[in-house]
Every structure is written in C-alpha cells, then in structure tokens.
C-alpha cells in the first residue's frame, strides 16, 4: 500500500479571519449604531403619550361666567322664556368657510367666541349677544371684536352689543327689532 500523505490546512487562517472581519466590520458598525438610534427613539416616542411627560400646570376651578354675564344670563332667561340661550359659543360653530383655505379660516376665527347666542325653538339663530366692557376698547380685544362683527355680518347673523347692562324691556325691544327686520337671519 502506498502511503498517502495528507496535509491538513486550517480552513480559516488568522489572516483570512482578519480579512473577513475587515470586510464586514462597517456593516456591523452601521447596524449597531442604527439599532441604538432606533431604540433611543422608540423609548422617547413611547413616553410621549404618558401623563408623567405632559406639562403640569397648577389649576383650580373657576366659574364659567363673570358676575356681569351671570346677571345678564339670569335676566335674559326671564325675558326670553320661550327661547334657547347658549353661552360662550365659538364663532366656528356659527359660520362655515366656503373657500378651500380652511387653515387660514381656523387661524382667523378659531379663538373667537360670542358671550351669548339666542335661538328660537327651531334652533335658528335670532341674534348673538356681546357684553362689552372697558377691555373691548383696547387691543387685542378690539381686533377680535371687529373680526366677530365682520364674519357674523358676512354670514347674515345679527350681533347685538351692550356696553352696559340693559334693562329687561330694552333687551326685549332690541331683539324684537331684529326679528321684525326684513333682513333677519334664518339658518
């Protein structure tokens, strides 16, 4: 029999291992960095909805009406027993934008409200009512009042302003004058 000499060589020499590592090292480094960044954002985004990460402000309850508004509301409810009286109504609930630029529309009227809205039993607007005081003579309230008047007028919705508390009979006369007007708004 012949002697066959078998020479065994290691499959991976240290030089081969180093060459492979050198070739794949950038990929593993990229994956390590990418994985770390992904875990960081997952952790941060996961906390966004949790209450412990929301801003906390000290709050306390308050009355929804000023004393003047309370007085007016009580008087108006007695004068208009057959009508519906709403308070602190957003303008965006009373008028709709007909053009396509809803963002500009919301930026303009999104924070505007009227003190009261008087409705008939069919829920049609009779008039909006504003109780103006000395704050209505200065900015930004003055600009807000002009915007309210403009948009309500454009929609054909009457706006009744009182700079001082009206007497019940004066309130009734002002509203009756609106309802008898030929341009009275009917939604």
Examine the domain organization and report whether 128 and 40 are in the same domain.
no
CA 128/CA 85 separation, integer angstroms: 10
Q: Which residues contact 173 (CB under 8 A, 6 or more apart)?
A: none
Examine the domain organization and report whether 115 and 163 are in the same domain.
yes
Examine the domain organization and report whether 137 and 49 are in the same domain.
no
Is residue 9 assigned to a domain?
A: no
121-178 confidence digits (pLDDT tens): 999 999 999 998 766 555 666 778 888 999 999 999 999 999 999 999 999 999 999 8
Is residue 62 assigned to a domain?
A: no
Confidence bin at 98 (pLDDT 50/70/90): confident
The parent domain of residue 39 ranges over 14-53
32-44 confidence digits (pLDDT tens): 888 888 887 777 7
3-state class of 116 per DSSP? strand
Confidence bin at 186 (pLDDT 50/70/90): very low
Overall domain count for the chain: 2
CA 71/CA 122 separation, integer angstroms: 26
175: number of Cβ within 10 Å? 20
Examine the domain organization and report whether 112 and 28 are in the same domain.
no
Tokens of 18: 């180093």
Q: At what angle do helices 67-79 and 168-180 cross, to 10 degrees?
A: 60
Is omega for the bond preceding 140 within 30 degrees of 0, making it cis? yes
Rounded to two decimals, the pTM is 0.64
Is residue 3 assigned to a domain?
A: no
């Amino acid at each position: 029999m012949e002697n066959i000499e078998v020479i065994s060589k290691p499959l991976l020499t240290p030089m081969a291992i180093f060459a492979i590592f050198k070739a794949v090292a950038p990929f593993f480094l990229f994956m390590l960095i990418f994985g770390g960044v992904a875990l960081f954002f997952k952790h941060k985004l996961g906390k966004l909805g949790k209450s412990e990460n929301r801003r906390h402000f000290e709050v306390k309850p308050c009355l929804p009406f000023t004393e003047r508004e309370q007085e007016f509301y009580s008087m108006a409810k007695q004068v208009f027993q057959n009508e519906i009286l709403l308070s602190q109504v957003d303008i965006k609930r009373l008028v709709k934008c007909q053009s396509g630029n809803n963002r500009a529309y919301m930026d303009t009227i999104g924070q505007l409200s009227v003190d009261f809205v008087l409705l008939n039993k069919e829920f049609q607007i009779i008039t909006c009512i504003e109780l103006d005081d000395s704050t209505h003579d200065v900015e930004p309230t003055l600009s807000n009042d002009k915007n309210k008047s403009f948009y309500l007028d454009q929609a054909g919705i009457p706006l009744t302003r009182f700079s001082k508390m009206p007497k019940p009979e004066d309130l009734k006369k002002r509203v009756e004058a609106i309802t008898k007007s030929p341009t009275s708004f009917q939604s």
